[in-house]
């Protein structure tokens, strides 16, 4: 079931495409906005993110544009498609398979499963940064943690945008003890998982 996007919040999707792979991957997160997003403000978000992550992404990867799915006062979401994109600045042929990604946890002040989220960053890890059983090296964890700390701070400082949040969907049918979705929770920190994540992508069938 899709998350509820209340007015004042937006779901962001940043496309990442490898030059040799036709199917893109997406990095997704939700964010509060101070003013209704426009193409200009969505592009401004990408422009702020680019210098934070470009040196972590291979030059064969195009990332961007960003699409914002915006919550409104009605049941209809506003979709704002940005136009800014660029390529990574790292030249390497040793990236992990596209299905293996950096796993980053979203932490909030709310307890339980409702109070946390996660997202995946494909194309950000090299073979040498992950051992044979999927553990990141301590150097890789520290490096990526610095990048994610900067990412969280940067996106909240873009004009028209506020803090990252975790959105909530209603509990599924048949759940014995359904929890109240509640309002979106502010993400207080991003935490790099020391084990590589497997990114599942829809096959369109």
pLDDT at 166: 94
Domain limits, the chain? 9-171+180-198
Q: Which pTM was predicted? A: 0.88
Indicate if the pLDDT at residue 144 is higher than 90. Answer: yes
Residues 6 or more apart whose Cβ sits within 8 Å of residue 169 = 1, 2, 3, 4, 181
pLDDT at 110: 85
Indicate if the pLDDT at residue 174 is higher than 70. Answer: no
Whose tokens are 């992550």? That residue is 53
Across the range 147-167, mean pLDDT stands at 97
Whose tokens are 């996007």? That residue is 5
Indicate if the pLDDT at residue 138 is higher than 60. Answer: yes
Summarised one tens digit per residue, pLDDT across range 9-60 is 999 999 999 888 888 989 999 999 999 999 999 999 999 999 999 998 888 8
Indicate if the pLDDT at residue 200 is higher than 60. Answer: no
pLDDT at 179: 60
Confirm if 149 and 51 have CB atoms less than 8 A apart. no
Under the banding of pLDDT at 50, 70 and 90, the label for residue 202 is very low
Whose tokens are 């409104």? That residue is 72
Specify the DSSP element, H or E, that contains 27. strand 25-33
Summarised one tens digit per residue, pLDDT across range 66-79 is 999 999 888 789 99
As a whole number of angstroms, the distance between CA 66 and CA 193 comes to: 24
Indicate if the pLDDT at residue 8 is higher than 60. Answer: yes
Summarised one tens digit per residue, pLDDT across range 89-128 is 887 656 666 668 899 999 999 877 777 899 999 888 888 8
Cα four-point dihedral sign 30, 34, 37, 42: negative
Indicate if the pLDDT at residue 205 is higher than 60. Answer: no
């Amino acid at each position: 079931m899709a998350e509820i996007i209340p007015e004042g919040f937006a779901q962001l999707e940043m496309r990442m495409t490898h030059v040799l792979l036709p199917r893109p991957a997406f990095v997704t997160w939700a964010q509060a906005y101070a003013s209704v997003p426009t193409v200009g403000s969505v592009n401004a978000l990408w422009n702020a993110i680019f210098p934070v992550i470009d040196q972590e992404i291979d030059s064969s990867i195009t990332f961007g544009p960003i699409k914002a799915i915006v919550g409104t006062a009605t049941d209809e979401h506003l979709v704002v498609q940005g136009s800014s994109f660029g390529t990574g600045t790292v030249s390497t042929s040793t990236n992990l398979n596209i299905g293996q990604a950096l796993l980053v946890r979203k932490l909030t002040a709310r307890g339980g499963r409702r109070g946390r989220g996660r997202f995946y960053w494909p194309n950000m890890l090299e073979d040498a940064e992950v051992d044979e059983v999927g553990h990141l090296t301590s150097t890789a964890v520290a490096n990526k943690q610095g990048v994610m700390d900067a990412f969280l701070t940067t996106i909240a400082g873009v004009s028209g945008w506020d803090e990252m949040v975790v959105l909530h969907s209603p509990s599924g049918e048949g759940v014995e003890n359904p929890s109240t979705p509640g309002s979106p929770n502010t993400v207080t920190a991003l935490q790099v998982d020391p084990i590589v994540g497997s990114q599942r992508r829809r096959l369109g069938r």
